[in-house]
């Protein structure tokens, strides 16, 4: 059985554990480099990206996560997406991990007081899935490389992207109990598993 790590430095990580539990997938908290040993994937949750960036250095996790990403899947939601980016527009305080070949604009969808739910359409294995997306100070993907696959759009910008075995989301699926993205990246027995990339289409 696989086990997925959830970064627990800061942010909303508990709900990711809940989703993994519902899927029958083991998960454990990651707070130190040694916690990456033996796990098969990692979730970088939403939170505050400036604080998260500082804590990665405080707990000496930056380079271990970058090395981990060379052979293991990582999913980032909201602030996690920011941290996975190659570049952050107009930003000097957050040092990204350069795991996804994307450029993001932090808080592009508005401040926390402007948090909202929007509908998105995800198409996997020729199935169209209308989903709710919760945006909280959400980042916008404003540019991406040729190897990045767009899974769904939001207001004419990519909202879910995949590159190789890594996944980044502008929104918070865990807040709405949406498990399809956790299945896509971390559940080999699911028909939606990322290894069937030729069956994944943007809606």
Secondary structure E strands in the chain: 3-7, 26-30, 41-44, 73-77, 87-88, 102-105, 116-124, 127-135, 140-144, 149-154, 157-163, 166-169, 200-202
172 is a catalytic site residue:
yes
* CA angle (184 as vertex; 178, 190 as ends), nearest 5: 100
State the sign of the Cα–Cα–Cα–Cα dihedral 70, 9, 18, 152: negative
Which of 78, 166, 182, 183 is flagged as catalytic?
78
Q: Is 3 a catalytic residue?
A: no
The catalytic position among 17, 35, 174, 182 is 174
Alpha-carbon distance values, 76 to 100, 127, 187, 198 (Å): 10, 24, 16, 22
Annotation says 78 is catalytic: yes
The set of catalytic residues is 78, 172, 174
């Amino acid at each position: 059985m696989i086990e997925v790590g959830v970064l627990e430095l800061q942010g909303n990580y508990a709900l990711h554990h809940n989703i993994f539990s519902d899927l029958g997938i083991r998960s454990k908290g990651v707070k130190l480099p040694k916690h990456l040993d033996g796990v098969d994937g990692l979730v970088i949750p939403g939170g505050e990206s400036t604080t998260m960036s500082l804590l990665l250095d405080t707990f000496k996790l930056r380079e271990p996560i970058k090395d981990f990403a060379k052979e293991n899947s990582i999913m980032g939601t909201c602030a996690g997406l920011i941290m996975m980016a190659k570049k952050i527009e107009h930003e000097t305080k957050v040092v990204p991990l350069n795991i996804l070949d994307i450029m993001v604009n932090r808080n592009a969808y508005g401040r926390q007081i402007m948090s909202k739910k929007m509908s998105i359409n995800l198409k996997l294995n020729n199935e169209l899935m209308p989903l709710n997306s919760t945006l909280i100070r959400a980042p916008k993907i404003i540019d991406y490389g040729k190897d990045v696959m767009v899974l769904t759009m939001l207001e004419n910008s990519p909202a879910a992207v995949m590159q190789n075995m890594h996944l980044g989301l502008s929104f918070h699926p865990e807040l709405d109990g949406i498990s399809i993205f956790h299945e896509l990246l971390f559940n080999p027995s699911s028909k939606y598993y990322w290894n069937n990339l030729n069956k994944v289409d943007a809606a």
